[in-house]
Amino acid sequence: MRIVILGTGAGGGLPQWNCGCPNCGRARDGLIPAMSQSGIAVSANGRDWALINASPDLRGQLQATPALAPQALRGTPIRSVLVSNGDIDHVAGLLTLREGQGFDLFATKAIHAVLAENPMLSALDARLVRRAEVALDQPFELAPGLTACLFAVPGKVPLYLEGETVETGLIGEQTVGVELTANGRRACYVPGCAEVPDWLKQRLAGCDALLFDGTLWTDDEMIRAGLGAKTGRRMGHVPVSGADGSMAALAGLALGQRIFVHLNNSNPLVDPGSPERALARAEGWQVGHDGLEITP
Ligand code: MLT
Ligand code: MN
Ligand code: ZN
C-alpha cells in the first residue's frame, strides 16, 4: 500500500490567506514548510489511486504528485474519491474534478445528503461520477486491491451547517475515520476527531500506520493567540498535548507509524524546530508534510 499525504494543513492551510500569526509569517517567508489543506492519496498497486478528501488546494496537490498525472490524452489514475466529512476543506476540491471525468464518489449517506444540497456540485456530471453511499463498518473496494471501511469517530456536523447549539461528540455518519487494507497491511486515517474514547483505541490498535488529527497542540491555543474564540474541542478536534490529549490517549497502543495530519496554522508542531515537535518525536509521533509518501 502506498499513501501520499497531499495536504497536511487544516482548513485555511499554512499560511492562511488572512493570518499574520508567527507561524503563517514564517511559512510566508519560507522559514518553515507551508502546508496545503487536508487530504491523502492511496493505492494498493501504484496504478489505481483513491483520493481521501478533496481540499480546495487539490489542483496544486495533483500537479505536485506525478503518480496522479494522466497517462493518456484524457484520463486519470484516480478511480475514486472518498470524503470523511462535509467540511469545506474536505469537499471544496470536488469542484476541481469537474472536467468530464468519471470516478466513484464515496461517502456516508448523511454526507451525500449534504453534498446533494449543494447545487454547485451538480457540476460533477451524474452520468460520469457515481455517488456511492457507504454504510459504517462495511468494508468496500475503494480502488482495485484496496479495501476501505468507514467507522464513526466523535465529531460534529460541518461548520456551515452548525445550528444554535452544537453537539461536538456526535457518533454517527457526520465524521468518520477510514480504515485502509491492502496486501495484508492496515492503515487508519482520522483527520478529524473530537475525543479518543476506549472503543476508538480498540478500533485503531494494531494498525501499521495511523494518520491522526493533529489540528491543535493545546485546546485553547487559538484563543490565547488572539486568533479565534473557539477551543479545539468546540471545533471537533481533540488537542494533541495534555493529560486528556490524543498523544496521551494513544500512548499505550500498539501502532506502527504514528503521523499527525490536519495541522492548524496555530499549532507549534508546524515548526520543525519547535520544542513541541521534539516532544512529539520522543513520543513516537511524526508530523506529516505535503508530499510525504509512506508504505505502511
Ligand atoms: C475543521 O476541520 O474544523 C473544519 O475544516 C473547519 C472549517 O470548515 O474551516
Ligand atoms: Mn478541517
Ligand atoms: Zn496563522
For the four alpha carbons of 14, 156, 195 and 153, in that order, the dihedral sign comes to negative
d(CA 120, CA 228): 29
Query: If we measure between CA atoms, which residue out of 60, 123, 116 comes closest to residue 83?
Result: 116
Tell me the best of 87, 237, 261, 263 to mutate to test the pocket of ligand 1, counting ligand atoms within 8 Å of each CB and taking the most: 87
Beta bridge partners of 151: 177
User: Closest Cα to atom 5, ligand 1: which residue?
Assistant: 11
Q: CA 151: distance to chain centroid?
A: 14
- Nearest Cα residue to 37 out of 62, 59, 14: 14
Pocket lined around ligand 1, Cβ cut-off 6 Å: 10-11, 87-89, 159, 192, 235-236
Q: Cell digits for 52? A: 481521501
Gap between the Cα atoms of 168 and 75, Å rounded: 40
pLDDT of residue 116: 98
Q: What is the mean pLDDT of the chain?
A: 98
Asked if 152 and 172 touch (Cβ cutoff 8 Å), the reply is: yes
Atom of ligand 1 nearest to the CA of 90: 5
pLDDT tens digits, 159-170: 999 999 999 999
Helix (H) or strand (E) holding 287: strand 285-287
> 91-112: per-residue pLDDT in tens?
999 999 999 999 999 999 999 9
pTM above 0.95, yes or no: yes
Chain segment 221-230, per-residue pLDDT in tens:
999 999 999 9
Kindly report, residue by residue over 184-221, the tens digit of the pLDDT. 999 999 999 999 999 999 999 999 999 999 999 999 99
**Per residue in 45-65, pLDDT tens?**
999 999 999 999 999 999 999
- Domains delineated in the chain: 2-294 (3.60.15.10)
